[in-house]
Structure formats: structure tokens, C-alpha cells
Chain A
Amino acid sequence: MAKVYNWQLGREMDYRLEEAHPDRQFAAVFNINRCIACQTCTMACKSTWTFSRGQEYMWWNNVESKPYGGYPHHWDVKLLEMLEKANPGGQKWDSSQRGDRSPYGTYNGQTIFEAAAATGDENAIGYLPTEEEWTGPNLYEDTPKGPAGVPGVYHTDGAQLPEHNTWFFYLQRICNHCTYPGCVSACPRNAIYKRPEDGIVLIDQERCRGYRKCVEQCPYKKAMYRPTTRVSEKCVGCYPRVEGSDPLTNGVPMETRCVATCVGKIRLQGLVKIENGDWAEDRFNPLYYLIRQERVALPLYPQFGTEPNIYYIPPRWVPRPYLRQMFGPGVDDAIERYTNPSRELLAVLQLFRTTQTIIFRYEIEDGELVSETEINGRTWQMYNDTIIGFDRDDNEVVRVSVDEGIIERGQQYQNSI
């Protein structure tokens, strides 16, 4: 076991392989607050990558309704339970000290790797989902949480911020292209690798021998076994788009299919710069800004220890203990900042789904004050700032203002569709 630094946990942790980092890391922000569960992302992925024999059950992208939904069923509850069994009552954070390399404080519990040390037989704890668990990918769709222990009854005063009594939310999931992937460390054949140029994690289809250790030890259950080719497959991060080799991209990095097609405009994906084993300060990269600077987007189950790279803006209405368990101790600050956004954050949020091209840098041009209101007892002002996004080669690819304006359809276009 090597010691590696996991900034999401604010500490070193045990990992099978020596610490190594790509030049850039694939990362994305998913704004849970905006998702309408249309599953366009899901179908975009399916129609691109997983429409052939043996892939029927594969949903590299899926959107599940929390708290009950999950694909495979109850994947997260099962993992949390395994961690709890390995280290009863120990999955605690100390958030009193936070810093650049420990933005959420320090996690004092055990990761999936550390929890396996007790027996030493495996590199990480995990389980192989059954056939049944891989059915009904949207089971419990839109099923809300009611009063604890009273099935079938909902609160009549369900919808009051800051926390709804009756609640559910959509969780959008793809492979996290983790910094310390459970799948990579699980593979006894070293058939899974993290690309040095963008951190995308791929299963070598020539080397894989169908052992399904990755399926067992990916805590997010995003490696999947394909019975027709007898080997495992996983989300490929649409690498031909991300690396700009797909003819559609004109040689410039482009966002993945699930991101580019998002109807709810909840997704933004890009590549962050890595230096000296951590995210290099890249102040005007929208992902760096949202995740490391503004800390409005948080990793999913950081306690698993794989340093996942899909970051979520947590849903504002959900009881905080549930969210803290899912996204760590950064939840309260993130919701506060999202609810009451700064001028810059509001501008950056406009970038979501305005271009397919990956934005490497943004600039903001100040605009007029357009409205003033009160949020949670505080005055909040909205400026019509303009944000401009640039691609890898620093060419402008998008320009959008906070105030979209209202465009009225002219009389001559009425009923013209």
C-alpha cells in the first residue's frame, strides 16, 4: 500500500498504487437543483455507446431519484453500510480546520481502501451487484421521503425551505473518472488505466479478462460486465470528443454527449490543470472556480476515498444530514452560496449549456444593475454582466449575459410551426 494525498479528505490515505496524476483532469459540475429527470443525457449516452448485445442493462449515465432510487439498486446504501460495519460509528469529519488542500476539513473515518485492511484479502471493500439489482434502472422514480417510520404517509406541509419535509431529488450519475479509482486498484491485471493527458479512466479491452473485480470495487458501480464479450466495460468519458479527435470537434476539446445534450442546462464539463499532485490554481477556469474557489459544487460520497471528479451543486430543499452524508461537510456553505450567489457565480452559472466546446477560461464584462431583492433577509442585487468563454486555443466560443432579455415572437411568426 502506498500513501497518497486526497484533498477531498484533507489527508493522506492508503492506496494500492503510487500517487500519480494526469496533466489535466476530466471534471464536471452537475447542478442538481435544475435537473428535470428527462433522461436525455441517459439516452444520449445509450445511443452513442451502449446499444449493442450484452450492453442492454448498461446505463453509463443514469439519473436516479433519491433517497430510494439507485442503479444498481441501493448501491450507495450498501456501500455506506459496509463502511459502517468495518468501522462502526467512525465515519466522522473534523471541519474545524479548512484550507486550500483540505477545503472540507479532514475525514477521520475509513475509506473503502482502508476498510479492507482488516482482512487484507482485498484492495478495497465492495460487492458484486446481482442480476436483479441491475434491473429497473429508474426504480423509485419520483418517490418522496415522508415521515420516518410511517410508510405511505406524506407531510401535509411538505414544501417549506430551507428543508422540505417531503422531498426527493434527482441524482445524475456517470463514472467519476476518479483520481484514485477503485476500479484501477481492484484490477489484478492492471488492465484499467487513467490517461495521462486527461485523467479519463479506461478499461483496456484487449487486456481485460472479465474478472469483474472493478465491478466489485468501484464504489459507484460504474464498471459493468458485458456477457457477450466476457469482459468489463465502463464510461469512456466520450474521449474522442474530449481530446478533440472526433471529426465534429474540429480538433478542439468538446464536452461529452451526456453533458452537451442536457435539456435542463444543469451540466458543465471540462478539464482542470493538475500540478504537483493537486489542481493548479486556474482562477478563471469555470470548473476550478465553481469547485475550488467558490466551493459551490461538491464531490459525491468523498468518504469512499476515490477522489471522484463529478461535482454536484446540492439541492437546496433537502434535509442537511442526508446531504452531508452524500456530499460531505461542504454542503451548508455550498447551499448558502448558491442560494445567494455572488456576481461572479451568477455569471459563471450562465455558461452551463451555452456551447459544446469545453471552456478553458472565462472573462466577465461588468453590466448594469438590473434588479434588487431580498434573499434570506439580505439584500441581493443582480447585475447584467456578460460572461465570455474561451476554448483551449483561447478563441472565444460563447458570450452570454446574466439577463437574457425577453424576446417576443412577432405576429408574422405566430402559428408558423
Chain B
Amino acid sequence: MQSTTRWTVTAIIFAALATAIVLTLGDMRLASSQTVTLVAKQADAEVPLDDPFDGVWKGAGPIEAPLSGQLVIQPKGGGDRTVTARALHDNDRLYVLLEWQDDTEDLLVSSQTEFTDAVAVQFPVSEGESVPSFCMGDPTAPVNVWQWKGAWQNDIDEGYVGIDDAYPNALVDTYPFEDEDVFYPARSAGNIFAQTDRTTPVDNLLAGSFGTLTQADDQIVDGSGEWRDGSWRVLFARDLDSGEGYSRFSVNESTNVAFAVWDGAKNERNGIKSVSQFLTLTLSDEIADSGGGIEVWQIALIAIGVAALTGALAFRGWQRSKQQ
């Protein structure tokens, strides 16, 4: 082989290596996922509940789940979307991280025509059982649904949005019995929608077929969501075992999981949603490798270094070949 060629090949190998390092460490996908099994490895660091962008998620292999419109029962709607899903566990809790594109951040339900962005995960209550995901379970195979809402996140981050916030110029003489819950019937009935001191943005729900979705007695799912640059990232977290009646998860076992997304700006709510099929969710005992906390700037530095080295080698080769 001529020396020029030899140097060029070396440079290419270095460049490829650099790219590979960047992609691996930076958790980027070259193409859509090849698998429909979502594997939850054991997290190699603590998974913070309030930061869906935390570095620990670099260790979770993402999969892409295609969603399509719900066209089975009225009201129909939604459309084609893709959700990038990741999962981790720490032997006590399961964490699911969903990411999808949405151009607008719709956080309010304070006016007549505003609807909130939302996302949900659905699991069969009994491991492994699954009916078509859009059916919301069936009477013999109930499902456990965790639904995160942008409006609830906003209540937590910014405080409960009341009439004074939504209509700052509204004038009302007096509200009699203002503090009595009975005049806020949804609140006195214990409807989680009416909470003014929300502690989680995620509703824990159960369903056994269309139209049966009901809030569970225990609101035990934590989470958080953040909208950045046209995408939502939402984290769900719950104990692996929350008792009878709710989905249970065990390490080295599999169950099913499905996703749904609502875009508030398009007035999407209820059946007007995009849904995935059921996928397999496996909790593995393998430890995730989030890169030991390597940060983006470190990756960039390595890449620049490798590129500079590649350039130098190539330049050297070119000089040598000129000298010959």
C-alpha cells in the first residue's frame, strides 16, 4: 500500500472511531430502533424524580414506538406520532421516560377552550396479559394507566392556576362560603382533577374496557415533565410492587406496556389521542451504563481532540507523500 493511502485509511478509521464514541456517549440513534422490547436495566446512579434530562438516562437504551390515531370508538382522533421510550429500575422502583415532539407547550385548562398536553403509559394489571391497547383493557384483563398532564405539572411548578390567574381583570363582588368544599363539588367528591395542592403530575387510573377509566384509590405514581425545544420529556416512577389491584413489576420478568399522547393545542383529550400497540417491557438485572457521568462537554472535547489528531495524521501523510 502506498504511504498516502495508508495515512488516509488511518485517518478514516480514526474519524469513524470518533463518530462511534460521540454517538455512544451522546446516546444518539442512527436509525429507528430495531426492537419492540423496552428493556429496563438497573440504573447505575440515582434516578432523580424532578429531572427527566438527567445523565443517568444515557444508560437506558431507547426504543421508538410508533403511535397512530385512535379510530376504534367515538370520539376518534389523534394521528401518527413517535414516542421515544426508555426505562430503568433500581430494584425498588420502575422509571419510564417518554419523549415526543410537540411544537407547543400547552399547560392550561383554565379557559373554556384550552386543553393540556398529556401522555400516558398503560400496563396490564396482571403481568403479561394484554388485549389490544386502545381498548383500555377488558373486564377480565384490567389495565393500570398512569397519565401525566402538562396542566398538573404547571400546578406543581408554578402553583395552582385559579380564576385570579386566568382572568386577572375579572371583578366579582363576593364569593359566599368561599372555603367550603361542598360548593366545589368535584373537590368534595375527592376528584383528583379538583386538587389545589397537587403533589404529583401523574394520575393513577384503572380501566376494564372503554369508558371505565377510574381514578385509583391510591395516587402513588410520581413523575415530572419538561418541554425543551419542541419536545416533551416526561418521567414516570412507581414502586415495583404497589400492592393488589395495580400492575406489578419484577426483575427478570416481562410485562406489556403501551403509550398514548395528547396534543392540547389540537383539542385532543379522551379518545382523541395517538396510541401505540402493546410492547414488551422487560426488567433486566443488567446494570445500565450511563457513561459514568461523562458530560456533553467532555464528549465534545474528545471529539475535537480525535478530529484534530485525525487531521494532523492526514496532513502528515500528505506532507510525506509530497516529499517522496
Interface residues of A (CB under 8 A from B): 16, 51-54, 56, 116, 120-123, 128-131, 134, 186, 188-190, 204-213, 215, 225-231, 233
| In the assembled complex, B76 has its CB within 8 A of some CB on chain A | yes
| Complex Cα–Cα for A209 and B170 (A) | 26
Once the chains bind, are B214 and A207 in contact (CB under 8 Å)?
yes
- Residues in B whose Cβ lies below 8 Å from that of A206: 186, 189-191, 215
Once the chains bind, are B193 and A122 in contact (CB under 8 Å)?
no
Q: Which 6 A-B pairs have the closest CB atoms?
A: A229-B194, A229-B186, A206-B189, A230-B193, A205-B185, A52-B183
**Given A121-B76, A131-B112, A204-B189, 17 new contacts (CB under 8 A):** A51-B175, A52-B175, A53-B178, A56-B163, A121-B75, A122-B76, A123-B75, A186-B75, A189-B211, A190-B212, A205-B188, A205-B191, A210-B109, A215-B112, A227-B163, A228-B184, A231-B194
Partner of B211, one of A51, A130, A188, A233: A188
Q: Which residue of A lies closest to B267 (CB)?
A: A128
What are 17 sample pairs from A and B whose C-beta atoms fall under 8 A apart?
A53-B178, A120-B74, A123-B75, A129-B112, A131-B111, A188-B74, A188-B211, A190-B212, A205-B191, A206-B186, A208-B193, A213-B75, A226-B186, A229-B185, A229-B186, A230-B109, A231-B191
Once the chains bind, are B193 and A229 in contact (CB under 8 Å)?
yes
| In the assembled complex, B287 has its CB within 8 A of some CB on chain A | no
Partner of B184, one of A16, A211, A215, A229: A229
Q: Is the interface of B mostly helix, strand, loop or mixed?
A: loop
| In the assembled complex, B213 has its CB within 8 A of some CB on chain A | yes
- Residues in A whose Cβ lies below 8 Å from that of B189: 204-206
- Residues in A whose Cβ lies below 8 Å from that of B194: 228-231
Once the chains bind, are B211 and A52 in contact (CB under 8 Å)?
no
| Complex Cα–Cα for A95 and B185 (A) | 45
Q: State how many angstroms separate the Cβ of A213 from the closest Cβ of chain B.
A: 6
| In the assembled complex, B176 has its CB within 8 A of some CB on chain A | yes
Q: Give the size of the chain B interface in residues (CB under 8 angstroms).
A: 41
Partner of B163, one of A16, A53, A205: A53
Once the chains bind, are B211 and A190 in contact (CB under 8 Å)?
yes
- Residues in B whose Cβ lies below 8 Å from that of A215: 112
| Complex Cα–Cα for A229 and B188 (A) | 10
Partner of B112, one of A121, A134, A190: A134
Q: Which residue of B lies closest to A209 (CB)?
A: B193
Contact string against A for B residues 71-103, beta-carbon threshold 8 Å, 1 for contact and 0 otherwise: 001111100000000000000000000000000
Q: State how many angstroms separate the Cβ of A131 from the closest Cβ of chain B.
A: 5
Contact string against A for B residues 193-205, beta-carbon threshold 8 Å, 1 for contact and 0 otherwise: 1100000000000
- Residues in B whose Cβ lies below 8 Å from that of A210: 109, 193, 269
Partner of A229, one of B113, B191, B212, B215: B191
Q: Which residue of B lies closest to A190 (CB)?
A: B211
| Complex Cα–Cα for A56 and B74 (A) | 31
| In the assembled complex, B238 has its CB within 8 A of some CB on chain A | no
Q: Which residue of B lies closest to A54 (CB)?
A: B163
Q: Which residue of B lies closest to A50 (CB)?
A: B183
The winner among A16, A53, A128, A215 for most chain B CB atoms within 10 A is A53
- Residues in B whose Cβ lies below 8 Å from that of A205: 185-186, 188-189, 191
| In the assembled complex, B270 has its CB within 8 A of some CB on chain A | yes
